[in-house]
Chain A
Amino acid sequence: MKILVPIKRVPDPATTIRVLPDGSGIATDNVKWVINPFDEIAIEEALRIKEKQAGSEVVLVTIGQSTWQEQLRTGLAMGADRAILVKNDGYLDPLALAKIIAKVAAGENADLVLLGKQAIDDDSNQVGQMLAELLGWPQATFASKVEFADKRVTVIREVDGGLETIAFNLPAVVTTDLRLNEPRYASLPGIMKARKKELKEVAAESLGLDLAPKLKIKSLTAPPKRQAGRKVASVEELVSVLHTEAKVI
């Protein structure tokens, strides 16, 4: 089985994010970059599938600048077989990303595209769904368990109010949720071998796609600073404050 895992480079979740004064983006100096944690879960799942199904191949793809190679190398060090960097400098909206990934998936003849349910930077949660639509493949989002029997896939999804089990045939798109697995650490030999694995670069504009953004980020603002809490003397006072001041009841 050939598994395509699209990954995104995002700021380390432990990093404190500062919005630029003009609201055009975030300050990127001193930011540590990592693989989007949900995508890391997707890589881990792909590697586990590969370990169970001999002859499988795990191909990583990312869309961004040359420096995004670092995250591809990390994924290769974890055990992926090869990687593709679709080079692009400007902003791409989720639809443009989905179009590029669809093109790569078709070109690679992938059986499965496995990706994070969303990236932790903009939390869009759209690429997987759009990708499935563009490819005309079945999709299972928010997967917390993925099982195979021949070409049939059973996925347990985390939905509001419980778990949903769905089954469909490959090829398909699956997006990963937090509880699917715990990603492995790259091993030292894995890191040394990653250097020798294939990392192909493709220019985004060479794919012949309309990538003009339909979505525009107008400005970013930091969330308001949380106010300190207040202690009330009694339940009566609490109810009254919730009613008269917070106006929530």
Chain B
Amino acid sequence: MIDFELSEEQQMIRDTVGAFALDEIRPAARPADESGNIPQALISKVAELGLVSGAIPETLGGDGGERSAVTGAIVAEELACGDLAVAIHCLAPRLLAYPVLEMGTDEQRGAVLKRLAGAEFVVATAAVMEPRWDFDLTELNVTARRDGAGWIIAGDKCCVPLAAESETMLVYAKSAAGKGFGGVDAFIVPRGAAGVSVGEREKNMGLKGLATYEVSFKEVRLDADGRLGGDRGINYSRLMSESRVALGAMAVGVMRAAFEYARDYAKERKAFGVPIATKQAIAFMIADMAIEIDAARLLLWEAASRLDKGADALEESYLAKNYAAASALRVTDNAVQALGGHGYIREHPVEMWFRNARGFSMLDGIATV
């Protein structure tokens, strides 16, 4: 039985986060792109929505404990439709919270999640990507080797959001000789651990409001409990599937922002005495954008619903995120085109969405793997 109907709660979440994104986040998007900063007041306001605390059980001081990949995709899409930089900034603590929630030992859940359970925004992040042309999620250069009961982490990461401000970072490293997803572990690294150094803020083409950094690990020593999940380790393939679904959903959000803006513009803007939306060259383009958005969203929801059932979604999430990343580029490119000369100037947001969308095929490095 296939059902695409959202539950009453999911609809309410979509409406609420969607309204918030349009009213509160969207107006901050351009200033953040220009200045490189997201106002603290906005971040606090987003945190009040309970994006992180809502997933943490009440026994750990959180506000709920219910979590679903489909609902997560809905939230990510809506936030990113407001602004991608704000969305990633505000969801960054989930990169630590969710893996710990799902795969951490009781001690790790207690230590990490209690700190993230409150209503205020506590900065945390994860380090996945590495600065190399042949980056491969399953063949990490950052390594973790046993040192007595503990671990030693070594290597370089890049594109780590909010690394400089994060209290705690989840670092993915190759820990075993095994190939594929089985050879990777995640390590909970506190800020200020000896040997961790955060580099200069990266200068990116898009996502200019989001602070990302290179981080290097020089023989960083961790205790035995630094390894997420203890002796059990993690299900890395599942974590990456979850992250791909979230990223793909954000791509859909960016596409939707561009599509809606271009559609409304085309209905308004007149050429040869009629709105350009009545010209087939534009009308077909707008229709294609709508098709791509729906298609990408359905692929993502399929992957997400598999994750919610506890099933493997490695393939589904890979296909969905890849499709969303490619579509995001086409859709935002078409949005720039639909606005003509106005699309290229910074007075309209479509050029910003185009730059932001370019990142999706690079983030988590999968498009070319």
Contact = CB atoms under 8 A, between A and B. Distances in A.
Interface in B4-52: 8-9, 12-13, 16-17, 19-20, 48-51
Contacts of B12: 70, 73-74, 77, 186, 191, 194
Nearest to B9: A191
B54 A187 contact: yes
A195 interface: yes
B66 interface: yes
25 contacts: A70-B8, A70-B12, A77-B12, A184-B48, A185-B16, A185-B19, A185-B20, A185-B49, A186-B16, A187-B49, A187-B50, A187-B54, A187-B63, A188-B16, A188-B17, A188-B54, A188-B64, A188-B75, A189-B50, A189-B64, A191-B9, A192-B9, A192-B54, A193-B64, A195-B9
Interface in B41-96: 48-51, 53-54, 63-64, 66, 75
Given A187-B48, A195-B9, 6 more contacts: A70-B8, A74-B12, A187-B50, A187-B54, A189-B50, A189-B54
Interface size class of A (residues with CB under 8 A): 10 to 19
Complex A-B, nearest 4 residue pairs according to Cβ-Cβ distance, in ascending order: A189-B63, A187-B50, A189-B54, A188-B54
A73 B8 contact: yes
Interface of A: prevailing SS: helix
Interface in A152-195: 184-195
Contacts of A192: 9, 54, 64, 66
A190 B50 contact: yes
Interface in A114-150: none
A185 B20 CA distance: 7
Nearest to B52: A188
A195 B19 CA distance: 21
A74 B49 CA distance: 14
B12 to A, nearest CB: 5
A181 B12 CA distance: 22
B8 A189 contact: no
Contact of A191 (B16, B19, B51): B16
Interface of B: prevailing SS: helix
A185 B75 CA distance: 14
A188 B8 contact: no
Contacts of B8: 70, 73, 195
Interface in A179-222: 184-195
B53 A191 contact: no
B220 to A, nearest CB: 35
Nearest to A193: B64
A77 B13 CA distance: 10
A191 B64 CA distance: 10
Contacts of B19: 185
Contacts of B50: 187-190
A73 B12 CA distance: 9
A156 to B, nearest CB: 27
Nearest to B119: A187
A190 B12 CA distance: 11
Nearest to A77: B12
Contacts of A187: 48-50, 54, 63
A195 B50 CA distance: 17
Contacts of A190: 50
Contacts of A74: 12
A160 B9 CA distance: 42
Contacts of A189: 50, 53-54, 63-64
B89 to A, nearest CB: 17
Nearest to A74: B12
A185 B22 CA distance: 13
A192 B12 CA distance: 10
Contacts of A194: 9, 12
